[in-house]
């Protein structure tokens, strides 16, 4: 019998296209800023910590009172359209003020992580040709001083907090520079406006150097059109308004955070900004945001923290919590399968929300409608838990080269395991090998000073992401893994290690990172690093004590990891399962150069460093 021919409707979708969506795209980021300050001067723009557990409010008028004189100082220095000014500082209201001032002066911001190594700092300053660098404090000033002789384009170092510093030639405090600019602005009142009046869509707005998992970072060119196109796409989703307070703590040197700064200019939502991770939960309680973007590890830690606190109380509290989680997740699973939960399930979920999860929501300010997650996948367990609490996580997908989000799930329509539909005004398609290609206003025109890398990454306007994906239900994008991370076992079976690693990490609170290896081998093994913070709390519940080194060598920790491996293996095919594992003697961290500043795994350094250990797992 001959099989029926497939029709287009039978074939999996390979293209998601919203490129014809009507968007309100501004001419430039500075045009968005000018309109916001002009039309909404008295409205709340930002809130910054007051140092006593509260917040200081800043209107758009207040913002401009700091931005304009600083921009004038840059103009007085001779900064012109297209020049680069580097910004090496932590997430704060000051960072945003400096960034806006750079743009108002017609220049572009070169973003640098405060934790950049000396060689990376030297490379970025040199490659970008930045004429000025603004740093957080004296510690970062010293780092710049150490490489300054090798960065000839650098003319001035500006220190935000210059307390205790003795500044030399070519060094000024931010306060001093701002005051100079105030005088210059008074004497030349049209200078700042003239500096950015001619900025257009194709002008460079930001240089973000990809942290990269190998080699020196590449400078991604993001134009004013990229940013305003991204902001317009987010605006068109209709999920944010000027009544929705944002909590911003992500590193502003990263594209994920910067996106929400630019989108704020278009939409107008106020933002509470504080980069302190230890203060995050307390800040949520006092700032009472409606939404917050975060990396997956934050959600995993919050979930682990809530669970550990409840388990420590035990008794009726623990029993009630477990019932609430079961009840909430039953409803969530029905929704995810496209079904309507039974009346009984809905009633149980409503009761659990009122009795238990209302207290959880109150700890987060009581106003949160959703979180937004990106940069790495989340496990289904974490997604189900937060959805059950009434604070769903919307997973999205994007890269520095796409100005962050190119797809994102929507409230009430999210599909777990996917990163949502394509952003309005944009399109994605799958190449013949499954690689995700992206096109639209938010997609970079290329890399700075690197024509070869640009030609390799962009073809006919399509950016090659390097990620393998699938399209689900003709609407949602699903990420399989990084193209270069996929490997084939000696049995000819392909393995996506990232999926296994996410599952393993989510199956035990003490697992910080996992690295799955198996290319050319007959089975997969895993290297596991133990999270020192989570280990302390876990050890107490088990009645264990000792140093980090003693605890990770204990049979109890080995048994905990083995149990996590067993739970993980239950969800994967035989050739994907972990047959053996080894616990690493130290954590995988940014400082050890095994994670990028955005907490992505640097797979190659970890594997090379532990080659002998991996070999022992196959002996």
| Boundary residue ending a domain (484, 506, 540) | 484
- Domain check: are 495 and 349 in the same one? no
Residues 6+ away with beta carbon under 8 Å from 264: 45, 246, 271
Task: Report yes or no on 40 lying in a domain.
Answer: no
pLDDT digits (tens, 9 = 90+) for 558-584: 999 999 999 999 989 899 999 999 999
Residues 197-218, mean pLDDT to the nearest whole number? 86
Residues 278-290, mean pLDDT to the nearest whole number? 94
Q: How confident is the model at residue 415 (pLDDT cuts 50, 70, 90)?
A: very high
pLDDT digits (tens, 9 = 90+) for 103-140: 999 999 999 999 888 999 999 999 999 999 999 999 99
- Domain check: are 475 and 505 in the same one? no
For position 138, which CATH number holds? 3.40.50.980
pLDDT for the residue 377: 82
pLDDT for the residue 2: 40
Q: How far apart are CA 565 and CA 155, in angstroms?
A: 54
Q: Find out whether 508 and 526 touch, Cβ atoms under 8 Å.
A: no
Cα 79 from chain centroid (whole Å): 31
Q: How far apart are CA 550 and CA 536, in angstroms?
A: 12
pLDDT for the residue 481: 84
Phi-psi map region of 357: left, alpha, beta (phi>0 left; psi -120 to 50 alpha):
alpha
- Domain check: are 452 and 570 in the same one? no
Q: How far apart are CA 295 and CA 376, in angstroms?
A: 7
Segment (H or E) for 407: strand 404-408
How many C-beta atoms lie closer than 10 Å to residue 354's C-beta? 11
Is the per-residue pLDDT at 8 higher than 60? no
- Apex 303 CA angle, 302 and 305, nearest 5: 65
* Eight-state DSSP code of residue 475: T
Least confident of 71-75, 256-260, 469-473, 541-545: 541-545
Q: How confident is the model at residue 598 (pLDDT cuts 50, 70, 90)?
A: confident
Task: Report pTM.
Answer: 0.87
- Domain check: are 494 and 416 in the same one? no
Q: How far apart are CA 260 and CA 268, in angstroms?
A: 11
- In a 3-state reduction of DSSP, which class is residue 90? coil
- Domain check: are 146 and 272 in the same one? no
Q: How far apart are CA 194 and CA 201, in angstroms?
A: 17
**How does the average pLDDT of the chain come out, rounded?**
93
pLDDT for the residue 74: 98
pLDDT digits (tens, 9 = 90+) for 320-363: 999 999 999 999 999 898 888 889 989 999 999 999 999 999 99
pLDDT digits (tens, 9 = 90+) for 360-406: 999 999 999 999 998 778 888 899 999 999 999 999 999 999 999 99
| Boundary residue ending a domain (452, 484, 516) | 484
Q: How confident is the model at residue 441 (pLDDT cuts 50, 70, 90)?
A: very high
Q: How far apart are CA 532 and CA 547, in angstroms?
A: 10
- Domain check: are 514 and 572 in the same one? yes
Rg (CA), the chain: 25
pLDDT for the residue 488: 87
Least confident of 180-194, 210-224, 375-389: 210-224
Q: How confident is the model at residue 494 (pLDDT cuts 50, 70, 90)?
A: confident
Q: How far apart are CA 266 and CA 118, in angstroms?
A: 36
Maximum mean pLDDT: which of 24-28, 499-503, 539-543 = 24-28
Task: Report yes or no on 466 lying in a domain.
Answer: yes
Task: Report yes or no on 564 lying in a domain.
Answer: yes
Q: How far apart are CA 19 and CA 41, in angstroms?
A: 34
Percent of residues, the chain, with pLDDT higher than 90? 78
- Domains of the chain: total: 3
Structure tokens at 95: 């960072």
Tokens 């490997």, located at residue: 487
Task: Report yes or no on 64 lying in a domain.
Answer: yes
Task: Report yes or no on 48 lying in a domain.
Answer: no
- Domain check: are 417 and 543 in the same one? no
- Domain check: are 468 and 525 in the same one? no
Task: Report yes or no on 51 lying in a domain.
Answer: no
Residue 360 to residues 297, 303, 506, 564: CA-CA distances in angstroms? 19, 11, 20, 26
For position 506, which CATH number holds? 3.30.300.30
Q: How far apart are CA 383 and CA 386, in angstroms?
A: 6
Segment (H or E) for 617: helix 611-617
Enclosing domain of residue 354: 12-24+225-484
| Boundary residue ending a domain (462, 484, 506) | 484
Q: Is 512 exposed, middle or buried (0-12, 13-18, 19+ CB in 10 A)?
A: buried
Is the per-residue pLDDT at 9 higher than 60? no
Q: How confident is the model at residue 308 (pLDDT cuts 50, 70, 90)?
A: confident
- Domain check: are 442 and 502 in the same one? no
Residues 451-478, mean pLDDT to the nearest whole number? 94
Task: Report yes or no on 32 lying in a domain.
Answer: no
- Domain check: are 500 and 393 in the same one? no
Tokens 């961290």, located at residue: 589
pLDDT for the residue 212: 56
Task: Report yes or no on 525 lying in a domain.
Answer: yes
What residues are paired with 476 via a beta bridge?
472
- Domain check: are 293 and 414 in the same one? yes
DSSP 148-166: GGG-TT--EEEESS-TT--
Report the side by side order of strands in the sheet with 84-88. 171-173, 156-159, 132-135, 84-88, 108-112, 204-209, 219-223, 446-447
Alpha-helical (H) ranges within 314-402 are: 315-336, 343-352, 358-363, 380-389
For position 327, which CATH number holds? 3.40.50.12780
- Domain check: are 338 and 444 in the same one? yes
């Amino acid at each position: 019998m001959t099989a029926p021919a497939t029709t287009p409707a039978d074939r999996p979708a390979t293209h998601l296209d919203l490129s014809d969506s009507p968007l309100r795209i501004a001419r430039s980021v500075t045009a968005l800023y000018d309109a916001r300050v002009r039309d909404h001067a008295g409205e709340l723009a930002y809130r910054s910590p007051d140092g006593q557990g509260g917040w200081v409010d800043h209107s758009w008028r207040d913002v401009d009172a700091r931005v304009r004189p600083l921009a004038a100082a840059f103009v007085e220095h001779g900064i012109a359209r297209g020049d680069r000014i580097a910004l090496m500082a932590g997430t704060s209201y000051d960072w945003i003020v400096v960034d806006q001032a750079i743009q108002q002066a017609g220049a572009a911001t070169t973003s640098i992580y405060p934790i950049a190594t000396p060689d990376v700092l030297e490379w970025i300053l040199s490659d970008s040709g930045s004429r000025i660098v603004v740093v957080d404090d004296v510690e970062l000033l010293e780092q710049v001083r150490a490489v300054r002789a090798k960065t000839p384009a650098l003319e001035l170092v500006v220190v935000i907090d210059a307390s205790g510093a003795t500044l030399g030639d070519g060094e000024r405090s931010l306060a001093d520079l701002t005051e100079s600019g105030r005088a210059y602005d008074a004497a030349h009142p049209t200078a700042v406006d003239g500096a950015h009046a001619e900025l257009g869509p194709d002008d460079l707005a930001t240089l973000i150097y990809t942290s990269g998992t190998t080699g020196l970072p590449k400078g991604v060119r993001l134009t004013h059109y990229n940013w305003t196109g991204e902001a317009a796409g987010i605006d068109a989703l209709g999920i944010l308004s000027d009544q929705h307070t944002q909590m911003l703590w992500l590193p502003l040197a990263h594209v994920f955070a910067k996106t929400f700064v630019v989108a704020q200019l278009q939409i107008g939502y106020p933002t509470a900004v504080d980069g302190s991770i230890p203060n995050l939960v307390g800040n949520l309680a006092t700032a009472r945001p409606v939404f917050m973007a975060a990396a997956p590890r934050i959600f995993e830690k919050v979930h682990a923290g809530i669970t550990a606190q409840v388990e420590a109380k035990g008794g009726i509290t623990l029993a009630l919590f477990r019932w609430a989680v079961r009840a909430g997740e039953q409803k969530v699973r029905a929704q995810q399968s496209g079904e309507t939960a039974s009346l009984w399930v809905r009633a149980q979920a409503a009761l659990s929300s009122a009795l238990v999860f209302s207290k959880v929501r109150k700890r987060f300010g009581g106003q949160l409608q959703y979180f937004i997650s990106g940069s790495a996948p989340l496990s289904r367990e974490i997604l189900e838990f937060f959805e059950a609490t009434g604070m769903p996580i919307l997973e999205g997908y994007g890269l520095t080269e796409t100005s962050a989000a190119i797809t994102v799930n929507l409230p009430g329509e999210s599909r777990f395991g996917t990163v949502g539909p394509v952003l309005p005004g944009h399109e994605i398609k799958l190449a013949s090998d499954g690689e995700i290609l992206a096109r639209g206003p938010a997609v970079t025109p290329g890399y700075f000073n690197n024509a070869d890398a640009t030609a390799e990454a962009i073809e006919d306007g399509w950016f090659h992401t390097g990620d393998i994906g699938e399209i689900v239900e003709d609407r949602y994008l699903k990420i399989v893994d990084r193209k270069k991370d996929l490997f084939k076992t000696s049995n000819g079976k392909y393995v996506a290690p990232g999926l296994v690693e996410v599952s393993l990490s989510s199956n035990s609170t003490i697992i910080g990172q996992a690295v799955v290896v198996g290319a050319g081998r007959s089975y997969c093994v895993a290297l596991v690093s133990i999270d020192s913070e989570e280990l302390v709390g876990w050890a107490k519940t088990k009645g264990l004590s000792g140093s980090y080194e003693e605890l990770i060598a204990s049979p109890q920790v080995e048994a905990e990891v083995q149990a996590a491996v067993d739970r993980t293996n239950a969800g994967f095919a035989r050739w994907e399962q972990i047959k053996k594992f080894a616990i690493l003697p130290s954590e995988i961290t940014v400082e050890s150069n095994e994670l990028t500043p955005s907490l992505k795994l640097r797979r190659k350094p970890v594997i090379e460093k532990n080659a002998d250990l991996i070999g022992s797992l196959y002996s």
